[in-house]
Amino acid sequence: MIVIAAVPYVESADIIMAPAYIKAIAAKHGFSSYAIDLNVEVLTLIKSKPNRDRILNFFLTQEIHEDTVNDIRNIINYCANRIAERNPEIIALSLLTFLSQIATRWICAKLRQLCPNARIVIGGPGIKNQISDSNLGFINQLIELKLIDDVIHGDAELSFPEYLRGNYDYPGINNYDWNRVELNSIPTPDYSDYDLSLYERCNIPIIDSRGCVKNCEFCDIIEFWSKYQYRTADVIFAEMLEQIRKYNIRSFEFRSSLVNGNMKEFKKLLKLICDYNEANSEQISWGGYFIIRAANSHTPELMEQIGKSNGCLWVGVESVIPEIRSNMGKPYTNEDLDYHLESSKKYGFKLILLLISGYPHETLEHYETTKQWFKDRTQYIDNILLVSITIASILPGTALERRSKDYNIIQGPYPSVWINQNLKITTKQRLNYFQELQQLVKDLGYNLYDDQKASTFVMDVNGY
Amino acid sequence: MIKKLRRLSWMSMDTKLECEFTFGHCNGTMCLEVFDGDKLLKKYQNDSLETETLVAEISLPTQLKFVVSGKNYNTDTKVDEQGNITADKCVILKNLKLGNIPIGVGLLYSMLSSKDVYFGRNDTITVDFDEDDFILWHLKNQNKFNIG
């Protein structure tokens, strides 16, 4: 038996696609497997525990409180048992983010006891601290301690079947030269092993593209998937219909950097969804990352279709200061942004605004302008489902990191700790601004995505 | 579904133990016997010993014992004119892992009945693994992975 599991911890009530997707890949090549989303199962287990946050703190920092020892032990053993009870010969652990690394270490230790003969392989973006990070400390530690046997780097569509065939020298298996798959040939994720009732937001994930058509300097996705790839509208819509048939769920979430990278296919997909929604009383809804373009590209007709298709747009606004956006590689105007806000109101679709707080070139005046921008747009609150603000980080392997010297930036020990020496705004000041902006957004009545973890990783800010 | 899957399979299972020793030479090496409770896991008695790794399955809870012997205190330590030790018959416990998890240096010192990883006397040094689940033992003793 092959068991594929998503490892906690991800602070999300959403479906983690990887195990179901890898299961489908294995099945396509004739291998039967069992897929588990351990993250949702663990979150369900501790949901009503009074010490929930302290338990989760263990998975973030490895801090052990006296009142959490037994709970943590139970969680580790629960996860290992869930896998071991299938008597696996191969255990594939998927790490969505680096926050899964602590749990992976402990679960693997237990798995070595329960399944001493199983081969353990890890993969996913979380095997490194950042997607383009060259630091392999976590992987090396696991191998040195004999907690794992193998690592799959990059996308697993081609390498995982080869791994199951025992071809351990294949590109991507214990080496970095992984091969890219043609996206239109990928299989439909198989959620038949999941208990979908556990999810608070049961949106079926769909891969629609990989990479991005933009070249934003702060982004590490484009470093990982350097070439933009998309699936055609017909293929995506066929997958939607297949999943509706299987699970009777009509809400979907596109797992990509943007849904509107290829406008021709995006328009076609919207048309297919709108036609479905017109013909059926139970309608499709969807959400996905979206880039803003000028009104001549995103016409009122397109906006209307987004509304009729029940779309929810995750918009990477990044900054409301035009010159800051332009420098980072997002040269749309504030008029374009307002047009999308206005359209959401007019055509009844929702927006999730994603902002970066304190970008390297932002001045103290820009901070005030940003606050004012939110004050001036409260008329759109009902259509803005969520505002998510993150602290500006300089991620390894990005263009921003490469340009840091030119920008006169000195970097600290963590991606969010740095100082632009031209502006002399310290990390502490930026952190204060971040908190002020969050508070203001909340006070104004916007629904804020309150990411407590954001500040957890800003530790030693002295001197930056 | 979640509750149904809870099991107690961590009970009564052997746990992997890994110890790494370095032997100090002076008129040969010390004899080292490692016991899981009363069960002898391994006896080292060979003058060519350098660095040795013991890998064994032990049943928790247990007391791990290191019995070191064969040292003549009058002859098996050499000291130069300045009083520096130049050769010593001893055993150094370099690493100890329980269930593939390394026991941190600070904890290792505090756990050993000798309070030292340098075994330079004929002695029995003990470590109490007093839980039936190695995960629980590590957690209760605040032993963590190095996450750099």
Burial letters for A244-262: b for 16+ Cβ neighbours within 10 Å, e otherwise? beeeebbebbbbbbbbbbb
Phi and psi angles of residue B72, each rounded to the nearest 5 degrees, phi first = -100, 110
Written as one letter, the residue type at B60 is: L
Question: Residue B63: what pLDDT?
Answer: 97
Confidence band, pLDDT 50/70/90 cuts, at residue B2: low
Question: Residue A464: what pLDDT?
Answer: 60
Which DSSP letter does residue B59 get?
E
Confidence band, pLDDT 50/70/90 cuts, at residue A142: very high
Q: Is pLDDT above 80 for A374?
A: yes
Chain B residue with Cα closest to A136: B148
Confidence band, pLDDT 50/70/90 cuts, at residue B71: very high
Three state DSSP letters for chain A: CEEEEECCCCCCCCCCCHHHHHHHHHHHCCCCEEEEEHHHHHHHHHCCCCCHHHHHHHHHHCCCCHHHHHHHHHHHHHHHHHHHCCCCCEEEEECCCHHHHHHHHHHHHHHHHHCCCCEEEEECHHHCCCCCCCCCHHHHHHHHCCCCCEEECCCCCCHHHHHHCCCCCCCCECCCCCCCCCHHHCCCCCCCCCCHHHCCCCCEEECCEECCCCCCCCCCHHHHCCCCEECCHHHHHHHHHHHHHHHCCCEEEECCCCCCCCHHHHHHHHHHHHHHHHHCCCCCEEEEEECCCCCCCCCHHHHHHHHHCCEEEEEEEECCCHHHHHHHCCCCCHHHHHHHHHHHHHHCCEEEEEEEECCCCCCHHHHHHHHHHHHCCHHHHHHEEEEEEEECCCCCCCHHHHHCCCCCEEECCCCCCEEECCCCECHHHHHHHHHHHHHHHHHCCCCEECCCHHHHCCCCCCCC
- Of residues A28 and A201, the one with the higher pLDDT is A28
Confidence band, pLDDT 50/70/90 cuts, at residue A324: very high
Cβ separation A78–B10 shorter than 8 A: no
**How large a percentage of chain A has pLDDT more than 90?**
87
| Assembly ipTM | 0.90
Q: Which positions in chain A touch B9 (Cβ < 8 Å)?
A: 77, 81, 84, 114
Bridge partner list, B51: B22
Number of Cβ atoms within 10 Å of the Cβ of B20:
15
Mean pLDDT within B45-68: 95
- Rounding to the nearest 10 degrees, give the CA dihedral for residues A362, A368, A371, A377: -100
Answer for the pair A351, A288: CB distance below 8 angstroms, yes or no.
no
The A-side interface with B (CB below 8 A) comprises 41, 44-45, 62, 64, 69-70, 72-74, 76-78, 81-82, 84-85, 101-102, 105-106, 108-110, 112-114, 137, 141, 145-147, 195, 198
Q: Is pLDDT above 90 for A180?
A: no
Confidence band, pLDDT 50/70/90 cuts, at residue A41: very high
Question: Residue B8: what pLDDT?
Answer: 46
Question: Residue A459: what pLDDT?
Answer: 46
Q: Which two tokens stand for residue A325?
A: 């956006």
Q: Which two tokens stand for residue A464?
A: 């930056």
Question: Residue A455: what pLDDT?
Answer: 43
Mean pLDDT within A156-183: 94
Cβ separation B145–A45 shorter than 8 A: no
Q: Is pLDDT above 50 for A78?
A: yes
Compare CB distances from A106 to B2, B97, B135 and report the shortest one's residue: B135
Bridge partner list, B88: B77
CB neighbour list of residue A162: distance below 8 Å, 6 or more residues apart: A170, A173
Rounded to whole angstroms, how far apart are CA atoms A38 and A85? 14
Question: Residue A370: what pLDDT?
Answer: 98
Written as one letter, the residue type at B99 is: G
Confidence band, pLDDT 50/70/90 cuts, at residue A281: very high
Whether B74 and chain A come into contact, CB under 8 Å, resolves to no
Q: Is pLDDT above 50 for A365?
A: yes
Rounded to whole angstroms, how far apart are CA atoms B135 and B143? 10
Q: Is pLDDT above 70 for A58?
A: yes
Q: Which positions in chain A touch B56 (Cβ < 8 Å)?
A: none
Answer for the pair A231, A410: CB distance below 8 angstroms, yes or no.
no
Rounded to whole angstroms, how far apart are CA atoms A448 and A433? 15
Confidence band, pLDDT 50/70/90 cuts, at residue A129: confident
Q: Is pLDDT above 70 for A460?
A: no
Question: Residue B11: what pLDDT?
Answer: 52
Mean pLDDT within A207-216: 94
As a whole number, the mean pLDDT across chain A is 94
Q: Which positions in chain A touch B7 (Cβ < 8 Å)?
A: 81, 85
Partner A, chain B 99-128, Cβ-Cβ below 8 Å: 99-102
**How large a percentage of chain B has pLDDT more than 70?**
92
**How large a percentage of chain A has pLDDT more than 70?**
97
- Rounding to the nearest 10 degrees, give the CA dihedral for residues A430, A434, A439, A444: 110
CB neighbour list of residue A356: distance below 8 Å, 6 or more residues apart: A218, A318, A319, A389, A390, A391, A392
Q: Is pLDDT above 90 for A220?
A: no
Number of Cβ atoms within 10 Å of the Cβ of A190:
21
Answer for the pair B123, B114: CB distance below 8 angstroms, yes or no.
yes
Compare CB distances from A62 to B133, B136, B147 and report the shortest one's residue: B147
Query: Nearest C-alpha of chain B: how many angstroms from A420?
Result: 26
Rounded to whole angstroms, how far apart are CA atoms B59 and A392? 50
Question: Residue A458: what pLDDT?
Answer: 42
Query: Nearest C-alpha of chain A: how many angstroms from B77?
Result: 35
A:B CB pairs within 8 Å = 75
Mean pLDDT within A242-267: 97
Place of tokens 């980080």: A393
Burial letters for A32-67: b for 16+ Cβ neighbours within 10 Å, e otherwise? ebbbbbbbbbbbbbbeeeeeeebbbbbbbebebeee
Question: Residue A255: what pLDDT?
Answer: 95
Q: Which two tokens stand for residue A212?
A: 């991005």
Mean pLDDT within A400-419: 92
Residue B138 DSSP SS3: helix
Query: Nearest C-alpha of chain B: how many angstroms from A75?
Result: 10
As a whole number, the mean pLDDT across chain B is 92
Cβ separation B135–A64 shorter than 8 A: no
Kindly give the interhelix angle for A52-61 and A69-84, rounded to the nearest 10 degrees.
70
Q: Is pLDDT above 50 for A457?
A: no
